[in-house]
Amino acid sequence: MRPLSFSHTLRQNLKKNVSCEKSTRPFTVALAGNPNCGKTSLFNAITGAHQHVGNWGGVTVEMKEGSVTCNKDEIRVVDLPGTYSLTAFSLEESVARDFIIHEKPDVVVNVIDATNLERNLYLTVQLLELGVRPLLAFNMWDEVRNKQIKINTKLLSELLDVPIVTTIGKNCTNIKNLLDTAVLMAKEGRGKYNRQISEFPAEAAQVIDKLISVPVMNSFGVPAQWLAIKLLENDSEVCSAIKEAEGGAEVLKIADRGRAKIELILGEDAQSIIAEARYGFIAGALRETVRKPVRNRVEISDQIDSFITHPIWAFPVFFLFMWLLFQATFVIGAYPQGLLENGVEFLRESVFHLMPDTVLRSLIIDGIIGGVGGIIVFLPNILILFFGIAIMEDSGYMARAAFITDKVMHKVGLHGKSFIPMLMGMGCNIPAIMAARTLESETDRRKTILLAPLISCSARLPVYVLFAGALFPKHAGNIVFLFQFVFGTLSFFIMAYIFKKTLFKGDEQPFVMELPPYRLPTFRSVLIHMWQRAEHFLKKISGVVLVFSIILWVLSNYPVNSEIEENYNVKIDSVKISTELSSEQKESKIGVLESEMRLEQLKYTGIGRIGMTLEPFFRPLGFKWRESVSLLTGFVAKEVIVSSMGVLYLADNSELDRDQRLKTAITDHFTPLKGFAFMLFVLLYTPCVVALITVIRELKSVKWSIFSVVYQIALAWIVTFAVYQGGKLIGLQ
């Protein structure tokens, strides 16, 4: 009789009694796997809505965590970053590896795309080297059946001595079985994996043996064999850890000599030799267990690709999708946005009527409701954008979009996937910055987040319209177009290029990217993805924004000088009782006095004072205190610049012809050159407070956040200075 497979034995045990015990602490199950192996859909299938983004100190890589109860056992499930390997060359890999080594999960579930066993098992082999006995989830089992691939999982399970469970993540098939097996493995304890795995060529094996024989190699709590392999692979983290240990220098010397010797004799570097041995081991195991049909038909995926990445049609299709995404996000999104705005307005009015006229009411209405309202209006945009992005990612289109745009983006040191954040920035920088999450490598993501705010968002449009209309009436349309679409994009690319040549010099990330077959996204996973982003936005960003809104509200209203109001009230009263003036004259005089009063009050507030203090900073750009104050108020939201200019420049407070009078005031206060410089500054300087907080939250680094603010203000100042002073030099007005 053939021995039963490991997974079978487990199931047998399970039926007996083991699963009924109640454990005292939750088991930890970590999901490891390649990108595109369906790990996320499996994670969603296991945890459903019970998941959140884990909080891992100092880690910028996102790890999701969820929980599930299986036969009264509490299981904590951690979704590790998708990796092809466990060598610490990228942050994702270090994070996944550190979690397995240090957090010691009870069970590591290695999710495997069963249609592509060879490459997926490469990670498995590395887990085995680490002494971990993983539970293999052969995912996408439906595709295996459709493709008529025959896999003898029982035999494979025996050969590898690891349990295998087949699953279909997208419709939750066999999840219970997977969990039962995981719980059973957890209860049996963390079985060390001791079998001989890959067979290395004699030269490499000798070096490994020699390394293992050094006593210090056994003092790290991980298999010495694994350490030796990592040393040969020149893994930076392992090398530096060993270097610090006693006698480590000697070990490194052996490893260095070993690598050189291997390369000399085998004509390949040690890294490739080890990879070949691993792949050789996998090929051996698969030879006996997998039968693939001879492929004689063109797969559907290839057919779709012949159109989607077609030399001529690729870009029209791409722009169509981008147009749809943009329209859905910002045009369709405007309807729920309007509803939310109405709701906020309703709340504001209710509070206005319900509460007595006190400072508290003003704080609630303008500070809190205004602040919250200013945040939640972005929610529809974020939901729709991430709905679209989730569909593009899950279907496999995102990889193709990166494939066709990468050439352009790579020229300035970015990745093909930076295109979407760039494009979305034209609607609003906030969802754009969040969309940078689609980039896998941290460097690419960081660059994209730093650059996204340079794209001119729609909130800057009112400023351009006002200035272009007032100062360049003949070319207003063209000027607005230049600022809204050309200058922002241009500064994005120029700065990207500058970053590539300076800060991120030599920091080139490999593009090597899998183009997964097209798959139909499931509604469930798209919804979960969308909800996660919304939740992140509300939880992580809105709180800070609210605090800032209140601070800004206080600064723009306080301190109050009651003398100003009293003085003006006296003047206004004297106008009212005057007998010499007609009622019309009275009204206009009162209007002038009221706006004078408001101007005086604004000058007295925190924001007014800061603005006036900052005047020397802006003077070289041709700006006076009024411009300085209005730019400062633009920090709340850039369209606020227009309304604060109303207060700053208009001599009369009435609503009559307000737009026209504001334009006239702009013409009085600004020469065309100064106006142009002002528009440039508005385009380039730090975006609104919500965008800024989003940048800080997404960068997750104090250093880079400070850099982000400083470089944008510096850029705005330098460009504006150059244009203004240069323009004056050549005699422009």
Partner 1 sequence: MIKNMDSSMKKSEVIDLSRCIEGDLVKIVRIRGNSLIRKRLVEMGFLRGRLLKIIKYAPLKDPVEVEIGGSHVSLRVCEAAGIDVEPVY
List contacts with partner 1 (CB under 8 A).
84-85, 87, 89, 115-116, 118-119, 122, 234, 268-269, 271-272, 275-276, 279, 309-312, 314-315, 399, 402-404, 406-408, 410, 509-517
Placement of tokens 């020699």 in the chain:
210
Nearer to partner 1, 189 or 311 (CB): 311
Return the closest-CA partner of residue 95 out of 63, 139, 135: 63
End-to-end CA distance of the chain, in Å?
Answer: 97
Return the closest-CA partner of residue 389 out of 438, 451, 351, 433: 438
Q: How far is the CB of 508 from partner 1 (least distance, A)?
A: 8
Strand duo 73-79 + 135-139: pairing: unpaired
Return the closest-CA partner of residue 418 out of 450, 465, 461, 381: 450
Omega before 163 within 30 of 0, i.e. cis: no
Separation of alpha carbons 33 and 108, rounded Å: 10
Nearer to partner 1, 88 or 451 (CB): 88
Nearer to partner 1, 509 or 705 (CB): 509
Q: How far is the CB of 221 from partner 1 (least distance, A)?
A: 25
CA angle 117, 122, 127 (to 5 degrees): 120
Q: How far is the CB of 445 from partner 1 (least distance, A)?
A: 17
Separation of alpha carbons 202 and 262, rounded Å: 10
Q: How far is the CB of 84 from partner 1 (least distance, A)?
A: 5
Return the closest-CA partner of residue 384 out of 319, 341, 419, 435: 435
Q: Dihedral of the CA atoms 162, 513, 268, 250 (nearest 10)?
A: -70
Nearer to partner 1, 271 or 337 (CB): 271
In Å, how far are 26, 531, 535 from 67, measured between CA atoms? 9, 17, 18
DSSP 17-44: TGGGPPPSS-EEEEEEE-TTSSHHHHHH
Separation of alpha carbons 101 and 603, rounded Å: 60
Nearer to partner 1, 443 or 654 (CB): 443
Q: How far is the CB of 326 from partner 1 (least distance, A)?
A: 21
Nearer to partner 1, 47 or 116 (CB): 116
Nearer to partner 1, 313 or 335 (CB): 313
Strand partners, 676: none
Nearer to partner 1, 236 or 585 (CB): 236
Nearer to partner 1, 346 or 511 (CB): 511
Nearer to partner 1, 73 or 406 (CB): 406
What is the layout of strands, in order, in the sheet containing 107-113?
Answer: 51-53, 64-70, 73-79, 27-33, 107-113, 135-139, 164-166
- Report which secondary-structure segment, H or E, holds 530: helix 523-536
Q: Dihedral of the CA atoms 179, 181, 185, 187 (nearest 10)?
A: 70
Q: How far is the CB of 70 from partner 1 (least distance, A)?
A: 33
Separation of alpha carbons 521 and 186, rounded Å: 32
Three-state DSSP string of 485-505: HHHHHHHHHHHHHHHHHCCCC
Nearer to partner 1, 279 or 352 (CB): 279
Separation of alpha carbons 27 and 303, rounded Å: 45
Query: 3-class DSSP state for residue 376?
Result: helix
Strand duo 164-166 + 135-139: pairing: parallel
Token pair recorded at residue 28 = 């930890």
- Residues 495, 452: contact at Cβ < 8 Å? no
Nearer to partner 1, 89 or 707 (CB): 89
Separation of alpha carbons 504 and 497, rounded Å: 10
Q: How far is the CB of 300 from partner 1 (least distance, A)?
A: 13
Strand duo 64-70 + 27-33: pairing: unpaired
Nearer to partner 1, 279 or 326 (CB): 279
Token pair recorded at residue 43 = 């994670």
Nearer to partner 1, 406 or 652 (CB): 406
The residue type at 94: S
Separation of alpha carbons 474 and 678, rounded Å: 19
Residue 291: phi and psi, rounded to 5, are -120, 120
Neighbouring CB atoms inside 10 A of 615's CB total 15
- Residues 125, 131: contact at Cβ < 8 Å? no
- Residues 62, 142: contact at Cβ < 8 Å? no
Q: How far is the CB of 497 from partner 1 (least distance, A)?
A: 17
Q: How far is the CB of 20 from partner 1 (least distance, A)?
A: 42
Nearer to partner 1, 73 or 305 (CB): 305
Nearer to partner 1, 443 or 588 (CB): 443
Separation of alpha carbons 687 and 454, rounded Å: 8
- Residues 191, 182: contact at Cβ < 8 Å? no
Q: How far is the CB of 536 from partner 1 (least distance, A)?
A: 29
Q: How far is the CB of 321 from partner 1 (least distance, A)?
A: 15
Q: How far is the CB of 64 from partner 1 (least distance, A)?
A: 24
Nearer to partner 1, 86 or 552 (CB): 86
Spatial neighbors of 230 by CB under 8 A, at least 6 apart, are: 87, 238
